[in-house]
Amino acid sequence: MSTAAHRRSAAESPDHVPSPCVSVCTMDAAGVLCTGCFRTLDEIAVWSMLDADAKRAVLAALPARRGAQPPSKPGSQP
């Protein structure tokens, strides 16, 4: 099986949980959360090693984190 075919197969697996990364890799002013995906540095670092349930737990926490962030200034990144 080719590498691309293996990736497609893994992505179609029920245990596959896609990364919330949106390629806006900037930490907030406190240096705690990524302003793109709202994960912590630790969560970003271990994402590929987490099982599906742990990834879903991280994803479940993101909306509250996003909502707790102050609104961005016009013309600034999210």
In a domain, 40, yes or no: yes
From residue 4, give the alpha-carbon distance in Å to each of 1, 7, 18, 44: 8, 5, 16, 23
In a domain, 1, yes or no: no
Query: Number of folded domains in the chain?
Result: 1
In a domain, 30, yes or no: yes
Taking only the tens place, the pLDDT of each residue in 11-68 is 567 789 999 999 999 999 999 999 999 999 999 999 999 999 999 999 999 999 999 8
Q: How many CB atoms lie within 10 A of CB 69?
A: 12
Residue 46: what are its φ and ψ, rounded to 5°? -100, 0
Residue 73: what are its φ and ψ, rounded to 5°? -75, 150
Note if the pTM is more than 0.75: no
User: 51 in helix, strand or coil?
Assistant: coil
